[in-house]
A = this chain, B = another copy of it.
C-alpha cells in the first residue's frame, strides 16, 4: 500500500535513502533454476551510476550490489533474492544548507507535510538514487524474459530530437556515446548542448523512447491492468517523468480512424503499427514502443529562491554534483521498469497455458 513494491508475481520491494547506510530490497517470485549472469547485472548498474562521463554528475558511487539470498551455486532457487547496495560516498554536509528550507520543485515540502518529518539529506527516499534497486531487479527480469529485446534510448534533449522512425536506428550504437542516442549526428549536438547548459549551472529536460521486440502475443490483462497502463505507471513512477505515450500517442489523437487502423496481414501481423504492439491492453506480437518525457532536473547550480521551514523566501544555490540532464542516466532505468512489467505479465500468462 505504501508503495515500495512493484509487481505481483515478479515482485520487487525496495528500501533505502540516498544518504543512509545502504539501499536494498528483495525480488519475490523469480522463477527457480535461472543461472544468473552477474556481469550483465553489474553492467546495468554501471550504466545508471553517476560519474560515467563529463555530461553527467561527477559524484562517485561504487554501486556494487551484494546478493544476500535466493541464489545457490549461481542459480536462483525460487526463494526471495535479497540484496543491498551500500552507500559509500554520501557527503551529508553537502546537504546541511537544505535542512531548514524547501527547494523549488523538489519533494522536500510535501514529504514534511505528509509525514511530519523528513530525512533532509539529499532528498532521502525521494532521491533518484532509489532507482539503483530497480536496475538490479530489472537486470534479473531481463534474464527471466530472455527472448524479449528491450532497447531504450534518448530521443530528444531540449529542442534537439532524432528526426527518424526507430526502425531506421541502429540500437547497437546506443552505448557508443555518453548521451545514449543511437543517431550519432544528433548525439553529438545533444552532447554539446548539455555541456553548454552545464556551464550555465542550468539543466534541461528530454525524452526517452523505448522499443520492445519479440514480445509473445497475449501479455497484459484487459480492463484495469492493461499492458500499456502498467507500462505507463511504471514509467511515470521514475523520478522527473511528466508524460507517457505509446504507439501513435498524442499524434493519434489528431488522426482519423481510416488512417489509424492497423490492417492485418494474413499471418496476424499488421501492416502498420500505430497501435504500438498492444490491442485492448494485450500484446499482439508487434513491436511495443513508447516515449517518456522527463522534466529538467530541479537542482540548479545557480541562485534561486527557496522557502524556509519558518515561511521565509530566501536565496539558495544547489551545491554538490548534479546532473545537467537526467535522460542519459535514465535509459537503463526505463529498460529496467519495462523488464519488470513484462516479467510480471509473462509469469501471469503461464496460467493460461
CA distance in complex: A311, B350 (Å): 26
Give 1 or 0 for each of A63-102: 1 = CB within 8 Å of chain B CB.
Answer: 0001111101001111111101000000000000000001
Q: Is the CB of A80 within 8 A of B351?
A: no
Shortest Cβ distance from A160 into B: residue: B254
- Cβ contact within 8 Å between B32 and A117: yes
CA distance A106 to B204 in the complex (A): 39
Question: Which of B106, B261, B350 is the one whose CB lies under 8 Å from A300?
Answer: B261
CB-CB under 8 A for A104 and B263, given A24-B82, A158-B256, A244-B243: yes
**Interface pair B15/A81, CB less than 8 Å apart:** yes
Of A44-52, A174-182, A183-191, A278-286, which stretch is located at the interface?
Answer: A278-286
Given contacts A1-B29, A6-B224, A268-B307, contact A217 B114 (CB under 8 A): yes
Complex contact A33–B244 (CB within 8 A): no
Q: Which of B32, B262, B298 contacts A261 (CB 8 A)?
A: B298
* Docked CA distance A13–B6 (Å): 13
Cross-chain contact A236 with B225 (CB below 8 angstroms): no
Closest to A2 in B: B29
Interface segment out of the listed A54-62, A145-153, A162-170, A227-235: A227-235
User: Is there an interface contact between B5 and A298, defined as CB atoms closer than 8 Å?
Assistant: no
CA distance A203 to B246 in the complex (A): 20
Q: Are B267 and A78 in contact (CB under 8 A)?
A: no
Closest chain B CB from A179 CB (angstroms): 14
A21 within 8 A of B: yes
Contact code string A281-310 (vs B, CB < 8 Å = 1, else 0): 111100000000111111110101111000
Contacts of A8 in B (CB 8 A): 1, 8
When A1-B348, A223-B125 are in contact, do A293 and B252 touch as well, CB less than 8 Å?
A: yes
With beta carbons under 8 angstroms apart, the residue of B130, B257, B274 that contacts A223 is B130
A40 at the interface (CB under 8 A from B): no
Known contacts A264-B313, A296-B255: does B280 contact A31 (CB below 8 Å)? no
Q: Is B81 within 8 A of A218, CB to CB?
A: no
Whole-angstrom distance from the CB of A289 to the nearest CB of chain B? 12
By a CB distance below 8 angstroms, the chain B residues around A214 are none
Contact A26 B32 (CB under 8 A): no
Shortest Cβ distance from residue A135 to the other chain B in the assembled complex, whole angstroms: 14
A24 CA / B223 CA spacing, docked (Å) = 14
Q: Is A4 an interface residue (CB 8 A)?
A: yes
* A126 interface contact, C-beta 8 A: yes
- For the A-B complex with A78-B352, A232-B236 known, give 5 more contacts whose Cβ atoms are closer than 8 Å: A15-B69, A224-B237, A244-B245, A266-B313, A350-B351
Can you spell out 7 A-B residue pairs with CB atoms less than 8 angstroms apart? A3-B226, A15-B69, A107-B280, A110-B218, A125-B222, A126-B222, A207-B253
